[in-house]
Amino acid sequence: MVQSRRRSGNYRCPRRAALPAAALLLFLLAAVALLYVSPPPLADHPVLASSRRRRSAHTLLNSSGAGSMEEFERREISRAPTNGSAVRDDLWGSKLASKFYGCSNSSSRFLDSNITTQPERYLMIVTSGGLNQQRTGIIDAVVAARILNATLVVPKLDQASFWKDSSNFSDIFYADWFISSLSKDVKIVKELPHIGGKLRAPHRMRVPRKCTERCYLNRVLPALLKKHVIRLTKFDYRLANRLQTDLQKLRCRVNYHALRFTAPIQEMGEKLIQRMRERSMYFIALHLRFEPDMLAFSGCYYGGGEKERRELGAIRKRWKGLHPNPEKGRRQGRCPLTPEEEILWAQENDPTKCQKALSLIFEQRKHVVGCILLKSTHGSERIYGRAQRAEAREGRVS
């Protein structure tokens, strides 16, 4: 009996010792594996590399007395290639840029619009929101017309939104170029023509957000075949993000090639950039968008007390399905940055080289006080000139 116990004990001891040994072996294997999958050292990080290069430049300039830091920055930015690639790893470029190339050309399976477009099918849309949302709606409208094999009528811009902007499509974009550049993809006309000798009233309908290709074929096409002219209302984000490759490429062709700003807008933008670079070779243009309608839609609270709750609450009534939860939105990072938060971010990113253009913001008197922390804060009128900006709005840029 004793011998049996000893024998049993002798067998147990190695088993207890084997467990720590196995754990140690697994730990060593995991450590070796991490060596192969770990990210590159921080010394190779592009931002840190850029900081080291700037410090080296300061040291070199101070010791040699050759030129200024502004001259060094000018030489640095002049090294940026014009062919889309980058020469170094830093904030303003990436060696990975050379790996990307344009791929929006259609495949051989994407038939010409002369073949696909069916007679007496016309699609009209009612854009909605700010210019960025309207631009997205225009892009999606072209793709929707292609899905429906319909002729697209040049969209009318939203003139009833928060900004009450009276601009038409041709005031912002080149309509003729828009039509001609997409002629092989979708047939586009400026105005709804007469059908059967008379001008038909469009049938109004709305599709759900992110409506898929099948959704358009099931919901819109039957009405289009019956009514011949369809007007899709509140057309913002009404097309699915994921589409077949050729339709996604069509999206790219519309966005990056077909939608061109008119000459006055293009010239104004180039002049703004030129004048910004006179103050600093590097700058960041940030659209803060701290405006009542955006803040109301976010459902967040910004510390304005009862006055804020009353004003934003009145705006929120237009969105019946909006159920704001300020605390949850803030925890999830869904609340737009306040001017103070944006300034803190700018301060962390070298405020001497951060130019910020101010526009009208909600509770401006309260929030704009913090903007004095920025060393380079300019309004668009200061950069461009009040008279010149007014001329640009009217289509005259000097």
Report the chain's terminal Cα–Cα distance, integer Å: 109
Percent of the chain with pLDDT over 70: 63
Contact 394, 166 (CB under 8 A): no
pLDDT at 30: 58
d(Cα 119, Cα 195) in Å, to the nearest integer? Answer: 10
| Higher local confidence (pLDDT), 104 or 337 | 104
* Vertex 255 angle, CA 239 and 286, to 5°: 100
Contacts (Cβ under 8 Å, ≥6 apart) of 264: 392, 395, 396, 397
d(Cα 121, Cα 150) in Å, to the nearest integer? Answer: 5
For CATH 3.40.50, the residue range(s) in the chain are: 113-260
> Does the domain formed by 113-260 have CATH 2.60.40?
no
Contacts (Cβ under 8 Å, ≥6 apart) of 175: 154, 169, 190
At 232, list the tokens. Answer: 């899709």
* Vertex 29 angle, CA 26 and 30, to 5°: 85
pLDDT at 311: 92
Give which of 338, 335, 317, 315 is closest to 326, Cα–Cα.
335
pLDDT at 343: 75
Per-residue pLDDT, averaged over 235-254, amounts to 95
The reply to whether the predicted model has a pTM over 0.75 is no
Per-residue pLDDT, averaged over 194-199, amounts to 84
Per-residue pLDDT, averaged over 14-29, amounts to 56
> Residue with structure tokens 């804020």?
308
Contact 184, 212 (CB under 8 A): no
| Higher local confidence (pLDDT), 29 or 144 | 144
Give which of 316, 315, 356 is closest to 339, Cα–Cα.
356
Whole-number Cα distances in Å, 345 to 45, 303, 365: 20, 20, 21
pLDDT at 389: 57
Q: How does the average pLDDT of the chain come out, rounded?
A: 76
Residue 86, SS3 per DSSP? coil
Identity of the amino acid at 262? T
